Amino acid sequence: MVQVKVNDGVLEGALVNNEYGGNYYSFKGIPYAEPPVGNLRFKAPQPAKPWEGIREAKNFGPVCYQFDMIMRRLIPGSEDCLYLNVYSPDIKPSKPLPVMVWIHGGGFMSGSGNDDLYGPEFLVRHGVILVTFNYRLEVLGFLSLDTEEVPGNAGMKDQVAALRWVKSNISNFGGDPENITIFGESAGGASVSYHLISPMSKGLFKRAIAQSGTTLCPWSNVSEPLERAFVFAKRLGYQSDDPKGLYEFFKSVPVESLVQVNIPITSIESTKKTGHITFSIVDEKQFGNNERFFYGDSNDVLRNGINDGVEVIVGYTEDEGVISLGLSNLNEFKDNVNTFLEFLIPKPILTNCLLNEQIELGKKLRKHYFGNNLLSTTGLKEKMIKYYSMDMFAYGAIQWAKICKSSSKNTVYLYRFGYKSERNILGVVLGGENVFRDRPVVSHADDLPYLFPMTAIFSLLGQKLDQASETFKLVDNLTQLWTNFAKYGNPTPDGSLGVTWSPYTIEKQDYLNISNELSTGTAPDREEVEFWEDIYRKYQPKFVYDG
């Protein structure tokens, strides 16, 4: 048992033996904001109330009520879910420790900061503090009515509240409030990249790692939030066209009705289910003195530069599009590509594209990825993966690096992740096993088991990680890269990993190939990227860097 005093009171945690070496101090279920229930539903988070006496911090707080998008199951959490967890290797170090704050993914509709997936054991052994947390999800976190009561982005404001709590309190756990790195994957990666351009987040962290998600990924934000809210409300029985009544109506809806919500407002959104997220980040309107997490067009804001002085790592996995296998019906996909020429057109282009342009571009995309003949299901998975990898993730990561670097002096590192071992489990879960004849897939989220033990998955599979194995060397390499960056702003400061990862430049486009043997290169996936750049250059130029 160990006690730490924070701004709101005294916490009692525990000293835990780390099976991968050493010990760490664990503090779980710390409230970083008031429970967002009752009249606080959909509102920006309010400061947590102090407590008297000693608060036990040995159990996780409730997770947000949610539907697990991968496992397709309901997780009956709670609206009272704004809790964080701190894991420190030393609460009284001789020198304050670097801090890493993890933002979980899950399509803005599922996930938590709990250690069933995101335990600290791999990272804290490198002398950093790890913080994980929950934030409101789906309708609870991202409903926007374009009103003062519900302007949107409540879940992102939860994230800001957690970061503010860390900034104010982490020194009590041995952490350095001036050396905080935020990192996240998928929706967590997109969140990280939005924090880099959010006025609310400025000054709350020094470094950032955006894994498989950026502001340029087409799913990272939504348009027409009020229209979606009306469609959803009418589905739930709201008969009025009066927007003023919407807030009171949504406050009265049972939480069970606010998960697993799919609200397409166009026919293409209805058919192209993969990559469509109904509730995520919106352009907030100004109401009085309300703090806005984000406003404007993310491309325009990015072109004006990210928050000053923040160093960044951004990247993607080799086969991001494997996630499409888990979210799509293969026959439906085949029929849609065969029938609708506009089906393959990227979302940012489709909304600004005339019909004759849709036909022209649709034919070009279909020919490039699927040939001129009608599709069959034979070999279709491999082609789907290649298309969705670029459409949903890789293009957004590479263009983000280019535009970011062109518009600011910030140091940026780019990577392409290609580890292959028995820990690449998500590709198997999603149906990507044996898709490629010559190699295993490296799916979206297959990087996570090398940063976190993910005990819930590997215990179920009966797999235990041997520290003497080649796989553990992969874990050690990746966690060293990430923690070196958190410590020094340089992932390879001394060459001990056998490579020197050079910062990204527009001229050379340096990147690190994070494969079983680390190697460096320039301009990853050059041919595919140039194909997509040509498309965006013609139809939506703000999504391409052009000097």
- What is the pLDDT averaged over residues 44-63? 98
Active-site residue 284, yes or no? no
Distances (CA, A) of 106 to 34, 220, 323: 23, 12, 12
Instruction: Tell me, yes or no, if 527 is annotated catalytic.
Output: no
Q: How far is residue 398's CA from residue 315's CA, in Å, rounded to a whole number?
A: 7
- Judge residue 38's burial from the number of C-beta atoms within 10 Å of its C-beta, 0-12 exposed, 13-18 middle, 19 or more buried: exposed
Q: What's the CA gap between 256 and 208, in Å, rounded?
A: 34
Domain extent listing, the chain: 1-547
The answer to whether 426 and 444 have CB atoms below 8 angstroms apart is yes
Buried (b) or exposed (e) across 234-249, using 16+ Cβ within 10 A? Answer: eeeebeeeeeeebbeb
276 among known catalytic residues: no
Tokens of 98: 């670097």
Element (H or E) spanning 347, and its range? helix 347-350
pLDDT average, residue stretch 141-157: 97
**Catalytic residue (choose from 185, 320, 528, 533):** 320
Report the distance separating Cα 95 and Cα 98, nearest Å: 10
* The residue type at 175: G
Q: Look at residue 377 and tell me whether its pLDDT is greater than 90.
A: no
- pLDDT(272) > 80: no
Per-residue pLDDT, averaged over 483-494, amounts to 97
Catalytic residue among 324, 444, 528, 533: 444
Q: Does domain 1-547 have CATH number 3.30.1330.10?
A: no
Flag whether pLDDT at 129 surpasses 80: yes
Among 54-58, 181-185, 198-202, 240-244, name the one with the lowest average pLDDT.
Answer: 240-244
Q: pLDDT category, 392, cuts 50, 70, 90?
A: very high
Q: Output phi, psi for 507, to 5 deg.
A: -70, -50
Cα-trace Rg, the chain: 23
Specify the residue for token string 């489709």.
350
The whole-angstrom separation of Cα 189 and Cα 313 is 10
- Catalytic annotation, pick one of 186, 198, 220, 421: 186
